[in-house]
Amino acid sequence: MWRDADGEVVAWAGLIRPGGLELHASPSLVPTVLRWFDQAAGSVEQTVTAMDTDTALIAGLRNSGYCEADEPYFRHCVRDLDGDLPAPTLPDGYRVRATRRGEVAERAAVHRAAWRPKSLGRLQVPPVDLGDGESGMATERYRVIAETWPYRRDLDLVVEASDGTLVASALGWYDDVNRAALLEPVGTDPRHARRGLGAAVSLACLRSMRDAGATLAVVCPRGDTGYPVPRELYHRIGFRDAGRTVTYRRAA
């Protein structure tokens, strides 16, 4: 992180993989952050993710020899929370609620069920066989998430089936400074798919965000045609596109 004379953070950057960078910086600090990245990455191909609205960063990347890469991208979608926000509608036998204390194993299990590679592969266009593996969301890993700021249990919503099994989930992250909240991730156990559970648990989470003080919600689904279903769901519950990521790459 970079701070100004008053101690305020004016830029941050992080290596997300060897040679990969994500950052946010005031325009005057973009060259400084990119020079740091040159030193930190070493002699490997370098990749930077930018928002298409961040003109200062894009100009800095181009001036440093980066070229735009044709890769899958993510849309930033937003929804105002100070207007109409429909109540979630669920089929008979299901109910939506916040995650409870002592429910970490069950919460991790519904995440794994929703994010099985084979199920995700079926949603791609055209469908892709991603194998029979499972999400790496073990109980202990979720426990760490639940014990880490800014996690809030009142923003961790689940759908419960009539037998008590958790079958869908949506997790919200609230920024009380900007009164904005991120909706990520959302998932449904494929054995309970096509019943509107993803939309219902998302709406419930949005209402909880509003109760917490948020006035704006953000979600970041894939935006390309290869994985359209999540973005379509978010548009149906009132989100609109507000920008997209762009990948820039420079050879080693």
Least confident of 11-20, 115-124, 185-194, 217-226: 115-124
Q: What is the mean pLDDT of residues 42-69?
A: 96
Closest CA to 197 of 77, 97, 116, 120: 97
pLDDT digit string (tens) for 161-192?
A: 999 999 999 999 999 999 999 999 999 999 99
Q: Compute the distance between CA of residue 62 and CA of residue 40 in angstroms, rounded to an integer.
A: 19
Return all residues near 5 (Cβ < 8 A) that are at least 6 apart: none
The pLDDT value given to residue 124: 84
The residue among 251, 246, 232, 252 whose CA lies nearest residue 71 is 246
Specify the length of the chain in residues. 252
Give, in degrees to the nearest 5, the angle at Cα 132 between 128 and 136: 105
* pLDDT value of residue 120: 84
> Which pair of structure tokens corresponds to residue 210?
């509003």
> What is the number of alpha carbons within 13 Å of residue 192 lying toward its C-beta?
27
Of 1-15, 73-87, 112-126, 181-195, the one with minimum mean pLDDT is: 112-126
Higher pLDDT: 11 or 135? It is: 11
* The pLDDT of residue 130 is above 90: no
Instruction: Report, in angstroms and rounded to the nearest whole number, the Rg of the chain calculated over CA atoms.
Output: 20
Structure letter (DSSP) for residue 102: T
**CATH of region 78-243:** 3.40.630.30
Look up the pTM and report it: 0.91
> Which of 232, 240, 207, 226 has its CA nearest to residue 96?
207
pLDDT of residue 132: 79
35: left (phi over 0), alpha (psi -120 to 50) or beta: alpha
The DSSP letter of residue 88 is P
Q: Note whether 171 and 155 are within 8 A (CB).
A: yes
Rounded (5°) CA angle 127-237-113: 45
pLDDT in tens, 20-55: 999 999 999 999 999 999 999 988 999 999 999 999
What average pLDDT is seen over the chain? Answer: 95
* Domain edges within the chain: 2-69, 78-243
Both tokens assigned to 181: 């909240």
Number of H helices, E strands in the chain: 7, 12
For residues 93-116, give the mean pLDDT. Answer: 97
Rounded CA separation 21/18 (Å): 9
Query: Do residues 210 and 216 lie in contact, with contact meaning Cβ atoms separated by under 8 Å?
Result: no
Q: Mention every residue, 6+ apart, whose C-beta is less than 8 A from residue 200.
A: 88, 89, 90, 94, 96, 159, 168
* Closest among 212, 232, 142, 138 to 172, alpha carbons compared: 212
